[in-house]
Amino acid sequence: MDLTTTYLGLTLRNPVVASASPMTQDVDGVRRLVDAGVSAVVLPSLFEEQVRREEVSDTMLQEVHEGSFGEARNYFPDSPTTSLGGVRAHLSLVERAVQASEVPVIASLNGSSRGGWTEIATALAGAGAAAIELNIYAVPGDTYTSGAEVEKRHLDIVASVCSAVSVPVSVKLSPFFSATGALAQAIVNAGAQGLVLFNRFVQPDIDPVRIAVVPNVHLSSRTESRVPMTWIAILRNQIRTSFAGTTGVEEPEDVAAYLLAGADVVMTASALLRHGPQHATHLVTGLEGWLAEHGYDSVNAVKGLLSVGRHQDAEGYERTGYVAALRKARQTYGSLT
Ligand SMILES: Cc1cc2nc3c(=O)[nH]c(=O)nc-3n(C[C@H](O)[C@H](O)[C@H](O)COP(=O)(O)O)c2cc1C
C-alpha cells in the first residue's frame, strides 16, 4: 500500500500530520508522535506578541545597561512568554525538534499585523523548519475596518514572508470570509504554496454562574470537519496548491473523507490530545485498512475523488447540498413538530 503524499512540495510517508498544539510543544512530544507514525509535525505557533515583547525587553535592557542599572533586569517577569529568551527558546525548540525527528518539522507563526514577520520567518527557516505555516489570526472587532482591508493585510503578510524565505509557506485561513475562494486564490498568487483549512477560533465562553467571561479552548468534534471539507472539495480543482484539512479528524474514516474531498494531508490536534500520541498509529493503520477494503492501492488514488469538478458549478454544489440537507431534515424531524 502506498500511503505517500506530497504536501508543500515535501514528500510525506502518509497524510497524517500532527497539527500545532501542546502535543508538539517539546521534543519528547514530537518524538512520540513521530514514533507513532505522523508524517510531519507542526510546532505550536510563535506569537507576534511574544516577538514584540522580546524586542521591547531587548531595547529596554540595552537602555538599562547604557545607564548602568543592570539590576533593573530583575523587574522583568519570569514567565517564559514575557522574559527574554521566549523567541530564542522557540528557535531552539525548532532546532532540537528537527534534530530529533526524521520527518519534516513545520514552524508556525501567529500574528495579525504587517510588520516584523520576515526576520522571524527567516530565523525559523534558519533553525531548520521545512516549511512555515502562517496563522493570520485577525479578528477586526471594530466597526470600520473593511473586509478589503483585512484581506489586503493577509496578502501583504503572505507576500513579505514568501519573499523572505526559501522554504515553502502555507497559510492557515479563517473560515469567516465573504469570498473564501477569491481570497484563497489571491494568497496562492502572493506566493503561498499551501492552504490549511481552517483555523479554529478560540471563543471565550460566558459563565452564567460566576457571571464572568471564561477563556476556554474546547477540543473539536467530528461534525466540525464539514465546513473545511466542503471548501477543500470546492477549491481543489480550481486552485493549484497543496491543501491541508484541519478540524474534526477523530477516526481513520475522517482522514479518508478529507482525502476524498481533495486534501493532500490532514492535520489533527484534538484527537491526539484526547487519546494520546499513539492515536496517530490508529489513524494511519486504519486509513491503510480503509484503502484496502475499498480496493485502492494508494492515497493518490483517492485524493479528490469527491471534489467538485473543474467545470462544475461550485455555487450550485453548495446550494444543492444545502437544499438536499434541508429536505432530509424536514423528512427526519418534520414528524416531530
Ligand atoms: C490546545 C490547543 C492549542 C492549539 N495551539 C495552536 C497553535 O499554537 N497554533 C495554531 O495554528 N493552531 C493551534 N491549535 C489549533 C490546532 O492546530 C488545529 O488547527 C485545530 O484544533 C483543529 O484541529 P482539531 O480538530 O484536530 O483539533 C491549537 C488547538 C488546541 C486544541
How many Å lie between the centroid of ligand 1 and the Cα of residue 299? 25
Q: Per-residue pLDDT for 180 more than 80? A: yes
Measure the CA–CA gap between 276 and 270, rounded to whole angstroms: 10
Q: Per-residue pLDDT for 137 more than 50? A: yes
The answer to whether residues 62 and 55 touch, using CB atoms and an 8 Å cutoff, is: no
With CA atoms as reference, report the closest residue to 133 among 195, 175, 71. Answer: 195
| pLDDT tens readout for residues 64-91 | 444 333 333 332 233 444 334 678 999 9
pLDDT of residue 293: 98
Q: From the CB of 20, is ligand 1 less than 6 Å away? A: yes
Question: Taking all residues of the chain, what is their mean pLDDT, rounded to a whole number?
Answer: 87
Q: From the CB of 162, is ligand 1 less than 6 Å away? A: no
Q: From the CB of 154, is ligand 1 less than 6 Å away? A: no
Query: Across residues 309-331, what is the average pLDDT?
Result: 68
257, burial (CB in 10 Å: exposed 0-12, middle 13-18, buried 19+) = buried
Q: What is the DSSP string of 221-242?
A: -GGGGHHHHHHHHHHTTTS-SE
Question: Which one is predicted more confidently, 64 or 131?
Answer: 131
If pLDDT is split at 50, 70 and 90, which confidence band does 92 have? very high
Print burial letters for 5-30: b (CB count within 10 Å at least 16), e (below 16): bebbebebebbbbbbbbebbeebebb
Q: Which residue ranges make up each domain of the chain?
A: 5-306, 313-337
List the Cα angle 222/241/162 in 5-degree steps.
Answer: 110
Architecture of domain 5-306: Alpha-Beta Barrel (3.20)
Single-letter amino acid, residue 221 = S
Q: What Rg, from alpha-carbon coordinates, does the chain have?
A: 22
Question: Which one is predicted more confidently, 177 or 324?
Answer: 177
Question: Which one is predicted more confidently, 28 or 215?
Answer: 28
pLDDT of residue 30: 98
- Which residues have C-beta within 8 Å of that of residue 159, sequence separation ≥ 6? 190, 191
Smallest CA separation from ligand 1 atom 25, residue = 247
With CA atoms as reference, report the closest residue to 125 among 162, 100, 81. Answer: 162
Question: Which one is predicted more confidently, 140 or 87?
Answer: 87
Measure the CA–CA gap between 176 and 231, rounded to whole angstroms: 12
Task: Give whole-number Cα distances, 270 to 21, 204, 208, in Å.
Answer: 8, 18, 26
Question: Which one is predicted more confidently, 54 or 306?
Answer: 306
Query: Across residues 167-183, what is the average pLDDT?
Result: 96
How many Å lie between the centroid of ligand 1 and the Cα of residue 63? 38
Q: Per-residue pLDDT for 153 more than 80? A: yes
Q: Which atom of ligand 1 approaches the CA of 247 most closely? A: 25
If you ran DSSP here, which 8-state letter would residue 224 be given? Answer: G
Q: From the CB of 110, is ligand 1 less than 6 Å away? A: yes
Q: Per-residue pLDDT for 252 more than 50? A: yes
Question: Which one is predicted more confidently, 64 or 119?
Answer: 119
Q: Per-residue pLDDT for 307 more than 80? A: yes
How many Å lie between the centroid of ligand 1 and the Cα of residue 335? 39
How many Å lie between the centroid of ligand 1 and the Cα of residue 53? 23
